[in-house]
Structure 1
Amino acid sequence: MGIMDFIKGQFIEVIEWLDDKGVLVHRFEAYDNAIKMGAKLVVRESQAAIFVNEGQLADVFGPGTYTLSTQNMPVLTALKSWKYSFNSPFKADVFFVNMTNFTDLKWGTTNPVIMRDADFGMVRIRGFGNYSVKVGDPAIFLKEIFGTKKEFTTDSITGFLKTIIVSSLSDLLGESKIPIADLSSSYDELGVQSTERLQPKFEAIGLKLTSLTIENISLPEDVEKMIDRRSSMNVLGNMDNYMKFQTAEAIRDAANNEGSGGAGLGAGMGAGMAMGQMMGQMFQPNAAANANANAMQQQAQQQQQTQPAVVPSSGDAGIACSNAQCGHLLQPSEKFCVECGSPRAQKRFCTQCGHELSATAKFCSDCGSKA
């Protein structure tokens, strides 16, 4: 083997790149960047190979296998000023560009975006989702973004792309004037419109935005609580009906109070009639329904008036309230009347015979002694 054969053996004869895990651009490793004229260039599907001579972009190769020569390297041949098909070894940087679609890249708002809503006024919103991108023009991407680095991954550019996406999407949301309550039903449409709007910006740096998905647009916690409160009040149609419903609930609870004794029974019957009248007004707002409800209310009042009055007693049912005008029966555990607040009347006994006296008795009904 002569010295020339040894020197020729030092030149690259096969140029290819296999590893592409998350890598957008890879610079081919070659000792002193020396490439043998006539070497094989293997460019696989979803790849592109770019030759750069002394910092100047030369030839671009798509998928296929090439034998490097002056015939299929016209730009580099012109830069090198080769004449008469002179096939000498040459030096050049070779970059492989990954042309596959990079999916599931994340975007999200770092800080809340302020927007104006017709229902809630000025609100702060946050959003996140994912997008897919690929190299559209390897030459432009190499000039605008990559430069002369050894390797370039998606992590090196996702921060820049996220900023572009969030800025454009915020602008789109402000222009669309979609109410916050309706945003969740417009995610697909907003994603398509965002992709169309962002495409020129991506193409300017040699990329192509293939898809953009909005997963969620959220509101501050206090605004979400406000929405929940409004939904609760509107469940029956309007505020008036909501207040009527709350009143009916309160009357029912009072009627079901076991501590009210016999008076609670009468109140419960009245509450039932009143609640029926209010429910009729809520769910039958027409004139005929209102007339029926008024008739039911009058009938309930008549029934209450014809009911026998509850006579207070001191038996097992309870002790009569000390206020004669109240008439409520106190249970053994009650120290004050739950109806009028009067203190519980203390039991009195005859000092001579021990007979129980009423609250107003002046003489014992059993032995006649003075109380």
Structure 2
Amino acid sequence: MIRGELIDIIEWLDDSRDTIAWRFPRHDNEIKMGAKLIVREGQLAVFVNEGRIADVFAPGTYTLATQNLPVLSTLKGWKYGFDSPFKAEVYFFSTRQFTDLKWGTQNPIIVRDPEFGAVRLRAFGGYSLRVIDPPLLLRELVGTDPQFRTEEVAEHLRQRIVGQLGPALANAGVPMLDLAANQHAIGERLAQALSAELAPIGVTIPRFVIENISLPPEVEAALDKRSQMGIVGNLDQYARFQAANAMEQAAQNPGGGMGEGMGLGMGMAMGQQMAAAFGAAQQPQQPVQQPTAPAGPPPLPPQQQWYIAVNGQQQGPFDLAGLQAQAGSGALTPATLVWRTGMAQWTPAQQVPELAPLLSQTPPPLPPQ
């Protein structure tokens, strides 16, 4: 209390790297008339009287008196004269960039990729924060906190960042394999969007960095396989390269036994076989040429097989010659039911046009005696 009566210099020397706002401590919040207020570069001071913001001070040195505080004169009628102490508070705000802030996605973000379809992405990085409107920040977040630190607002900012990250990646229109080349541009767009969203609380995001955008492990494994296939390319050249490396290692180790030489030879032979097999698989398959048939007439087409019904019994199959014999013996008459493959049902022979020549040769029945 005695120090509060003697100290008349109000200043803030920040020995931390994460304090956004700091309230100057005085006994009973009494600031002596004529006290010196020192605001350094990278700081702004907010003078609060009886719970209301009276003035904001830029960097410089000020003498706190009623003639220097016209706003304060209208807020309070001085009952005991203008030489009495101020019953007020002074909040210092750091306006430098806070660059040690990190962000990351706890859950993956699902985006639609033109080549791979729906893909789950994770991302992390860093960003910087700067105070641009201390009165707004005091009203919205700081309140009466004597020391407002970045950790108190970090989770709130991370949620807003993740909320903006999904739409930014989805609307970027960049394929997944090209995201690394466009991380800087996406980060700049996110910084602008976040600054506009955070302006109502008095802060801005001057810098936003995407350090990495990662894929699920199974997708990364599939991409690794695809990359390996692209790197190997021509198996013939790969086998020759491996054989050359083996020969170089063997030359550097002349004391190796015959087994190493045999292993080298087997490795080269296997590599050549693999290269030949892979090359044959890559070549378009030629149509297999059928052996030419010897000169001569083509085989006769298969004759249709017929069935007839005689005395309620099915007989056959018969070819046309067999049917002709049946007609000659009297077994096949115009009223005889016949059937062959392709007919829907048994039909009288006289209704089948194909059998008309056979039936015409059938002699008529003998006249009654």
> Please, what TM-score do these two structures have when normalized by structure 2?
0.62
Among candidates 113, 131, 141, match of residue 117 of structure 1: 113
Question: SS where residue 107 of structure 2 aligns?
Answer: coil
Instruction: Please name the residue that 2:68 is paired with.
Output: 72
Aligned with 1:225 (options 221, 233, 243): 221
C-alpha offsets along residues 302-340 of structure 1, whole Å, 9 cap, x if unaligned? xxxxxxxxxxxxxxxxxxxxxxxxxxxxxxxxxxxxxxx
Query: Shift in Å at residue 10 of structure 1?
Result: 2.3
Matches within 5 A, 1:86-105: 86-105=82-101
State whether residues 194 and 204 of structure 2, in contact with CA within 8 Å, keep that contact through their aligned partners in structure 1. no
What SS class does the counterpart of residue 88 from structure 1 fall into?
coil
How far apart are the structure 1 equivalents of 2:4 and 2:141?
Answer: 35
Q: Which amino acid aligns with 1:71?
A: Q
Match in the other structure for 2:47: 51
Q: Aligned to 1:128, which of 121, 124, 130?
A: 124
- Structure 1 position 15 matched with structure 2 position 10: yes
Corresponding pairs, count: 259
Partner of 1:207: 203
Task: Name the residue aligned to 1:32.
Answer: 28
Amino acid at match of 1:18: L
TM-aligned CA distance change 1:113 to 1:31, over 3 Å: same
Match of 1:351 in 2: none
Change in 2 beyond 3 A, CA 1:56/1:114: same
Normalised TM-score (structure 1):
0.61
Q: Secondary structure at 2:191's aligned position in 1?
A: helix
Supply the AA of the counterpart residue of 1:124: R
Could you say if the C-alpha distance between residues 58 and 184 of structure 1 is closer, same or farther in structure 2, counting changes exceeding 3 Å? same
Question: Residues of 1 paired with 2:66 and 2:278: CA distance?
Answer: 95
C-alpha displacement of 1:278: 7.2
Compared CA separation, residues 54 and 221, structure 1 to 2 (3 A): same
| Gaps in structure 2 of 5+ consecutive residues | 239-268, 287-369
Residue number in structure 1 paired with 2:187 = 191
1:209-288 correspondence runs (5 A): 209-234=205-230, 279=279
2:31/2:86 contact within 8 Å kept: yes
**Contact 1:11–1:89 (CA under 8 A) maintained in structure 2:** no
Q: 1:170 to 1:277 in 2, by over 3 A?
A: closer
CA distance in 2, matches of 1:274, 1:43: 77
Distance in 2 between residues matched to 1:211 and 1:226, nearest whole Å: 34
The separation in 1 between residues aligned to 2:274 and 2:100, in whole angstroms, is: 60
Correspondence for 2:289: none
Q: Give the RMSD, CA atoms, in angstroms.
A: 3.8
2: CA distance, partners of 1:9 / 1:171:
53
Counterpart secondary structure, 1:119: coil
Residue 13 of structure 1 aligns with an amino acid whose one-letter code is D
Shift in Å at residue 221 of structure 1?
Answer: 0.5
Match of 1:253 in 2: none
Q: Which runs of 5+ in 1 are unaligned?
A: 1-5, 247-267, 295-371
